[in-house]
Amino acid sequence: MADVTGVAIGRDSTGDPGDSMRGVTGREPVMAMAMTKRGTSYESSSSGFDLPVDSEHKARRIKLLSVAKPHMRAFHLSWFSFFCSQFATFAATPLIPIIRDNLDMDSKDLGNAAVASVTGTIFARLLMGSLCDSIGPRFGHAFLMLLTAPATFSMAAVDNATGFIICRMCIGFSLGVFVATQFWASVMFNGKIVGVACGATAGWGNSGGGLTQFIMPLIFALFSMAGAPDFAAWRYVFFVPGVLQVFAAYLILEFSQDLPDGQYAQLRKTGQKVKEKGHRVLITGLSNYRTWCLVATYAFSFGIELTMNNILSPYFFDRFNLDITSAGMLASIFGIINIYARAGGGIFSDMAARRWGMRGRLWTLFVLMMVQGVFMILFGRMSSLTPAVIVMVVFASFSEFASGSTFGIVPYISRRGLGIVSGCVGAGGNAGSAIVQAIFFTNNPVPTQDGISIVGIVVMVAALFVLPIYFPQWGSMLFPADRRPTSTEEEYYAGEYSADERSQHLHARVLPFAANARSERGSSFNDLLALEKDASAPAGSNQEVRRGDAPGGDVDAASKGLGALEMVREEAESRRSSFAVERAEAPGGSEAGARGGFSGGSKASGGLSPAANNESEQVHGRSDFAEELRRHSLEISPT
Tens-place pLDDT, residues 111-152: 889 889 888 888 888 888 888 878 889 999 999 999 999 999
User: Which residues are CB-neighbours of 198 under 8 A, at least 6 positions away?
Assistant: 182, 185, 186, 346, 404, 407, 408, 410, 411
The H or E element that residue 298 is part of is helix 289-299
CB count in 10 Å sphere of residue 15: 21
Compute, in degrees rounded to 10, the torsion defined by CA atoms 207, 209, 211, 217: 180
Topology match between the domains 67-275 and 286-524: yes
Across 240-254, 331-345, 478-492, 526-540, least confident range: 526-540
User: What is the distance between the alpha carbons of residues 568 and 528, in angstroms, rounded to a whole number?
Assistant: 8
Phi then psi for residue 131, to 5 deg, are -65, -40
Contact of 124 with 434, CB cutoff 8 Å: no
**What pLDDT is recorded for position 335?**
85
- 542 Ramachandran zone, left/alpha/beta (phi>0; psi -120 to 50): alpha
Residue 173 has pLDDT above 90, yes or no: yes
Contact of 290 with 297, CB cutoff 8 Å: no
Provide the percentage of residues in the chain whose pLDDT is more than 70.
73
More confident residue, 210 or 45: 210
**What pLDDT is recorded for position 47?**
59
Which whole number is the average pLDDT over 544-562? Answer: 40
User: What is the distance between the alpha carbons of residues 358 and 519, in angstroms, rounded to a whole number?
Assistant: 9
Which residue, among 410, 395, 339, 499, has the nearest Cα to 191 in the 3D structure? Answer: 410
Q: Give residue-wise pLDDT tens across range 51-77.
A: 999 888 999 999 999 999 999 999 999
The sign of the torsion formed by the CA atoms of 255, 259, 264, 270 equals positive
Which whole number is the average pLDDT over 300-324? Answer: 89
Compute, in degrees rounded to 10, the torsion defined by CA atoms 238, 244, 249, 255: 170
Q: Interhelix angle for 137-154 vs 107-134, to 10°?
A: 160
Which whole number is the average pLDDT over 354-367? Answer: 95
Residue 159 has pLDDT above 50, yes or no: yes
More confident residue, 592 or 70: 70
User: What is the distance between the alpha carbons of residues 172 and 174, in angstroms, rounded to a whole number?
Assistant: 5
**Mean pLDDT, the chain, whole residue set:** 78
Which whole number is the average pLDDT over 203-220? Answer: 90
The hierarchical CATH code for the domain 67-275 is 1.20.1250.20
Which residue, among 451, 442, 448, has the nearest Cα to 116 in the 3D structure? Answer: 442
Q: Give residue-wise pLDDT tens across range 237-250.
A: 999 999 999 999 99
The hierarchical CATH code for the domain 286-524 is 1.20.1250.20
Parse the chain into domains and list their residue ranges. Answer: 67-275, 286-524
pLDDT band per the 50, 70, 90 thresholds, residue 210? confident
**What pLDDT is recorded for position 561?**
42
DSSP tag of 634: T
Q: Give residue-wise pLDDT tens across range 266-305.
A: 887 777 666 666 678 888 888 999 999 999 999 999 999 9
Across 325-334, 399-408, 416-425, 438-447, least confident range: 438-447
User: Which residues are CB-neighbours of 425 under 8 A, at least 6 positions away?
Assistant: 291, 294, 295, 298, 406, 407, 410
Residue 530 has pLDDT above 50, yes or no: yes
Compute, in degrees rounded to 10, the torsion defined by CA atoms 476, 480, 485, 489: 30
Which residue, among 480, 486, 484, 491, has the nearest Cα to 514 in the 3D structure? Answer: 491
User: What is the distance between the alpha carbons of residues 313 and 324, in angstroms, rounded to a whole number?
Assistant: 8
CA angle 326, 327, 331 (to 5 degrees): 115
How many C-alpha atoms does 579 have within 13 Å on its Cβ side? 23
